[in-house]
Amino acid sequence: VLSFLEALKRILVGRPEATGRRRPKPLRLRTGVPALSTSALSSLAYFPDEILLTLAVAGLAGLQLGPWVGLAVAAVILLLVACYRVSVRAYPDGRGDYQIAKENLGPVPGVVVGSALLLDLALTVAVSMSAAAHYVVAAWPALEGHEGLIAAAGVVSIAVIALRGAGRSPWARALPTLVFVGVLAVVVLVGLVLAASGHLGQAPSAGYDVVPLAQGGLTGLFGLVLVLRAFSTGSAALTGVEAPITGVSDLARPRAANAGRVLVVLGITATALTLSVMWLARATGIKIVEDPSTQLSLHGEPVEDYVQAPVLSQLTQAVLGGGWPVIVFGAVTVVVLLAAGLSGFTAFPRLAYHLATDGYLPRQLRTRGDRMGYSNGILVLAASALLLVLVTGAHLSVLVQVYVVGVFVSFTLSQVGMTRHWTLRIRSVPRGPRRSALHRYRLLAVVGAALSLLVLGVVLITKFTHGAWLAASAIVVLTVGMTRIHAHYGHVDRELAVVGDPSETSLPSRVHALVLVSTVRKPVLRALSYARATRPHHLEAVLVDNDPEKTVRAVKAWTQLNLPAPLTVLASPYRDMLPPLLNHIRRLRARSPRDLVVVYVPEYVVGHWWETLVHNQAGIRLRTRLRREPGVVLSTVPWQLGPVGHAQAEPRPERTREQE
């Protein structure tokens, strides 16, 4: 019979799978392109909004700059894609930026990149679910104010899907993106045609005025900072551009070449959609602000009870009209965001597995769960994402800042690493077309590193107080933690390595068995019999006298029963169990240090958890303390108490999986 918790787990997660019984099919190009672009393309659901609401601080004039910021973001996407195409050919094993930084720059940069990527993947989940929550609220305004809980429900749902190992078939991974891009392409194309023919309608928010929050508008340093902020916010578009690299092992062979092709299609699609969406947003007059009640006005009056719809929803309404097109596209967007979150649940546990294999994270992250997923990694990710959405209340603007820092830290370090990589390779290749290709690769890496360093600087300077400090400190904390874990494992490995020294297998000279007695009852007699069965050189029963009445009774019973071992009573003036026992053991060990002391502790095993409360838990404290004594083995002799009404417990049948 399964316990309640086991049954719950079985319902949520499903029956265990045997090792190696099921392998997901490889992704061919037609499924691989959409499946590995989910995370990147789904960011179109939220980053245009973030760009516009940053620009709206400068009023209407600011919003006019939207397409130009979009252009800058598109340029960065193209550069990243180009760089990654080269990287994946050099490092085709799926460990991506972490591997590149580690091999070319050393372990610390590798760990920094690992930390940044772990943070980013947690944020991918948090951001996707928060954006999904906003789409849900836009469709269902009564839920406003509960975005955090909706996002949390989303995190829990996809975590359960990930634990079940569901949604891993190629088409299940590909379809959400295909549909989303298809629908978005229709909206964009129709919009562009309407615009060309001069029939493009206006968005619902087109009629509002935007009240500038800053008096200076776009002039001077403040204007520059604002545009740079909008650009760095827009870099959220880079979410998941590295997915084709880390997911390369899911692709059909030739993997690296296919990953390159995925990157090309992804880059072109993302660029084209970014540019058109940003341009159409301006053309249809979409206004997005942080706080509609203070920043929007209609004929000079502030607006009340206005629920701000996301850019894509407003665009759909302007192009195809309100009603069902908006609802359908909203549903499609929520599905693609769920798929993007799920892709984070694939990538994070994998990266954690690689880091754990290299000894930077706890080994438990390498364990495969019932459904073959790295379940500990999934649980850690779910907990982190839950924390993020609940603490921020699914507030996208904050989450996006934290995210962008991670992207550019890892990208900068990986491109510096690639520069080093190509420099080393160039030396070993003779002059010729092969060598000039390597020179081109290196140039690309240098440009990529320089540009991303620049963007990182912009983000850190213009957004430090807006959340970038959080990202920076999280990366530092993770890096220090991972370095310490690695040092610990290294130390343990050195200390525990078997060197073939004969002392390692030498036997203790004699065995001294101590049977711990508190009252003379059956479990003590059983412990005594078991201790005798191991034929120790010395056998002694020990009683710590912390209750004189009980001691007298026990000594009397011991003598009457004529038991085959002497009973030593240890004085305990402070009524404490441990110090007298430890002193006794130390005296024995001091007399003959090469002896082994085995302490036999009779232990009651009760049927119900509450029954443990009414028994002294001395055994637990004893175990914790005796573990620290060298040369002492603690043997627990359990006595299974039957339920009330039975004389002796039947051994509980353990249902093993083989018997199912």
* Footprint on residues 551-610 left by a copy of itself (CB under 8 A): 557, 561, 563-564, 573-576, 578-580, 582-583, 596, 598, 600, 603-605
Q: Among 529, 553, 556, 568, which residue interacts with a copy of itself (rule: CB under 8 A)?
A: 529
Start-to-end Cα distance in the chain? 11
Instruction: Tell me whether residue 437 or residue 487 sits nearer to a copy of itself (CB atom).
Output: 487
CA gap 224, 58 in Å, rounded: 11
Instruction: Tell me whether residue 176 or residue 580 sits nearer to a copy of itself (CB atom).
Output: 580
Work out the burial of residue 482: count CB atoms within 10 Å of its CB; fewer than 13 is exposed, 13-18 middle, 19 or more buried: buried
CA gap 96, 259 in Å, rounded: 12
Three-state DSSP class for 605? strand
Residues 46-65 that bind a copy of itself (CB under 8 A): none
Sign of CA dihedral 267, 272, 278, 281: negative
User: Minimum distance from CB of 532 to a copy of itself (Å)?
Assistant: 6
Q: Residues with Cβ < 8 Å from 110, sequence gap 6 or more?
A: 98, 99, 101, 102, 103
User: Minimum distance from CB of 160 to a copy of itself (Å)?
Assistant: 20
CA gap 123, 406 in Å, rounded: 9
Query: Phi and psi dihedrals of 358, rounded to 5?
Result: -80, 5
Residues 62-81 that bind a copy of itself (CB under 8 A): none
Instruction: Tell me whether residue 450 or residue 641 sits nearer to a copy of itself (CB atom).
Output: 641
Q: Residues with Cβ < 8 Å from 473, sequence gap 6 or more?
A: none
Instruction: Tell me whether residue 30 or residue 646 sits nearer to a copy of itself (CB atom).
Output: 646
Q: Does 5 bind a copy of itself (CB under 8 A)?
A: no
What track of x and - describes contact with a copy of itself for positions 84 through 123 (by CB under 8 A)? ----------------------------------------
Q: Among 436, 473, 534, 559, which residue interacts with a copy of itself (rule: CB under 8 A)?
A: 534
- Tell me which DSSP letter residue 544 carries: E
Q: Among 431, 535, 587, 591, which residue interacts with a copy of itself (rule: CB under 8 A)?
A: 535
Q: Does 3 bind a copy of itself (CB under 8 A)?
A: no
Instruction: Tell me whether residue 300 or residue 645 sits nearer to a copy of itself (CB atom).
Output: 645
CA gap 13, 29 in Å, rounded: 30
Residues 350-409 that bind a copy of itself (CB under 8 A): 362-364, 366-368, 370
Residues 614-653 that bind a copy of itself (CB under 8 A): 614-616, 623, 625-630, 632-642, 644-645, 647-649, 651-652
Tell me the angle at which helices 324-357 and 147-164 cross, rounded to the nearest 10 degrees. 60
Size of the site for a copy of itself (CB under 8 A): 97
User: Minimum distance from CB of 565 to a copy of itself (Å)?
Assistant: 10
Q: How far is CA 483 from the centre of its chain?
A: 18
Q: Does 530 bind a copy of itself (CB under 8 A)?
A: yes
User: Minimum distance from CB of 381 to a copy of itself (Å)?
Assistant: 17
CA gap 344, 481 in Å, rounded: 22
Residues 457-516 that bind a copy of itself (CB under 8 A): 485, 487-489, 491-492, 495-498, 500, 504-508, 511
Instruction: Tell me whether residue 209 or residue 611 sits nearer to a copy of itself (CB atom).
Output: 611
Instruction: Tell me whether residue 222 or residue 489 sits nearer to a copy of itself (CB atom).
Output: 489
- Pick the closest to residue 657 from 5, 4, 6 (CA basis): 6
- Pick the closest to residue 369 from 138, 162, 554 (CA basis): 162
CA gap 224, 237 in Å, rounded: 21
User: Minimum distance from CB of 595 to a copy of itself (Å)?
Assistant: 9
Q: Among 149, 390, 525, 569, which residue interacts with a copy of itself (rule: CB under 8 A)?
A: 525
Instruction: Tell me whether residue 427 or residue 627 sits nearer to a copy of itself (CB atom).
Output: 627
- Pick the closest to residue 123 from 448, 467, 455, 438 (CA basis): 467
